[in-house]
């Protein structure tokens, strides 16, 4: 209701209405909105429906009001009204991902399974990604014995984590975990690193902190399906950044850079490898070349040891 309050304030400032009246109208609007929200949160559906109905009529341009009124009507068993409200809400701007799922629950309550499945599919095609709702929503109980239901639930899981079951996206999972890192030669402590999946399991995020100095950095690794390759973007707290690309070859994650201009001297090309030594050890080996890849010089050689 912030829009209404701002409009009333503007009319007051323009002299269109007395400011005392504006203040009273704003307070009344805020109170009604708070009462409606409290009733909705408390699942007092009768009160929620009673309060949201005039609000929808007064402000049909607000999608949230349509959704809450329709939900309240559904929970009261007012299925025809709920369906009409949600369909109008969809036209008013309720996101299809939510509106279509709600419409599906209404049709399920009406025992119209074909329509229910039709609108569940529309919700999923719009990106619906809450598989737990398929398990917990009581309105969908009538659909759960239908073989189509399990397939749609799988699609919701895929929407939630689209990369979780794609083989290429899982090629670098051997690097996941929390690690103590030391030099491969001599076992000198070098740093700590936490490697985790983020963004629907599509991105592997590295969090590096050096031992004995403040240097830290992060890398973001993902499989680029369009280019069919792995890519890493490294950034650090000294304004450094490096872009790598490559892929898994013979069990080794093989990363390369293009030639990178240097402040002094010829461009530098890098070759970075991650080698799985065991389930609890990974070697990270970096080399550089300043002659276009004819010869290579080691930059660093680390061994990651999984923390217990």
Mean pLDDT of 43-66: 96
Mean pLDDT of 138-150: 96
Whole-angstrom Cα distance, residue 282 to residue 301? 11
Mean pLDDT of 203-231: 97
Question: To the nearest whole number, what is the mean pLDDT of the chain?
Answer: 92
Q: What is the pLDDT of residue 114?
A: 98
Domains and CATH numbers, the chain: 2-160 (1.25.40.10), 167-306 (2.40.128.20)
Percentage of the chain lying above the pLDDT 90 cut: 87
Q: Would you place residue 31 in the very low, low, confident or very high pLDDT band (cuts 50, 70, 90)?
A: confident
Q: Is 105 exposed, middle or buried, given 0-12, 13-18 or 19+ CB atoms closer than 10 A?
A: buried
295: pLDDT strictly greater than 50: yes
Q: What is the pLDDT of residue 7?
A: 44
266: left (phi over 0), alpha (psi -120 to 50) or beta: beta
Give the pTM.
0.71
**Cβ neighbours, 10 Å, residue 106:** 27
Q: What is the pLDDT of residue 3?
A: 45
Tell me the pLDDT tens digit for each residue of 114-130.
999 999 999 999 999 99
Percentage of the chain lying above the pLDDT 70 cut: 91
10: pLDDT strictly greater than 90: no
Residue 230 CB contacts under 8 Å (≥ 6 apart), including other chains: 171, 172, 221, 222, 223, 224, 245, 246, 247, 248, 253, 255
Q: What is the pLDDT of residue 164?
A: 87
Tell me the pLDDT tens digit for each residue of 55-82.
999 999 999 999 999 999 999 999 999 9
Whole-angstrom Cα distance, residue 99 to residue 2? 23
268: pLDDT strictly greater than 90: yes
Q: Would you place residue 29 in the very low, low, confident or very high pLDDT band (cuts 50, 70, 90)?
A: low
11: pLDDT strictly greater than 60: no
């Amino acid at each position: 209701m912030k829009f209404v309050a701002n409009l009333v304030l503007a009319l007051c400032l323009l002299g269109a209405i007395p400011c005392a009246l504006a203040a009273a109208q704003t307070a009344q609007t805020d109170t009604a909105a708070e009462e409606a929200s409290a009733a909705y949160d408390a699942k007092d559906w009768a009160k929620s429906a009673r309060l949201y109905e005039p609000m929808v009529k007064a402000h049909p341009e607000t999608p949230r009001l349509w959704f809450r009124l329709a939900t309240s009507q559904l929970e009261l068993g007012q299925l025809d009204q709920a369906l009409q409200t949600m369909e109008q809400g969809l036209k008013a701007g309720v996101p299809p991902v939510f509106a279509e799922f709600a419409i599906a629950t209404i049709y399920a309550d009406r025992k119209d399974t074909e329509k229910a499945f039709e609108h569940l599919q529309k919700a999923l095609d719009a990106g619906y990604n809450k598989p737990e709702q398929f398990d917990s929503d009581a309105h969908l109980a009538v659909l759960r014995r239908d073989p189509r239901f399990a397939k749609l639930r799988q699609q919701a899981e895929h929407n939630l984590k689209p990369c979780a079951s794609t083989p290429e996206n899982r090629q670098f999972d051997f690097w996941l975990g929390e690690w103590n890192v030391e030099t491969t030669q001599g076992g000198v402590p070098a740093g700590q690193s936490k490697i985790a999946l983020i963004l629907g399991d599509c991105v592997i995020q590295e969090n590096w902190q050096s031992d004995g100095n403040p240097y830290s950095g992060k890398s973001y690794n993902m499989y680029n399906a369009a280019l069919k390759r792995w890519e890493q973007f490294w950034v650090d707290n000294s304004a450094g950044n490096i872009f790598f690309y490559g892929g898994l070859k013979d069990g080794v994650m093989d990363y390369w850079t293009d030639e990178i201009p240097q402040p002094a001297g010829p461009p530098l090309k890098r070759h970075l490898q991650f080698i799985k030594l065991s389930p609890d050890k990974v070697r990270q080996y970096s080399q550089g070349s300043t002659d276009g890849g004819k010869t290579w010089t080691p930059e660093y050689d680390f061994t990651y040891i999984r923390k217990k």
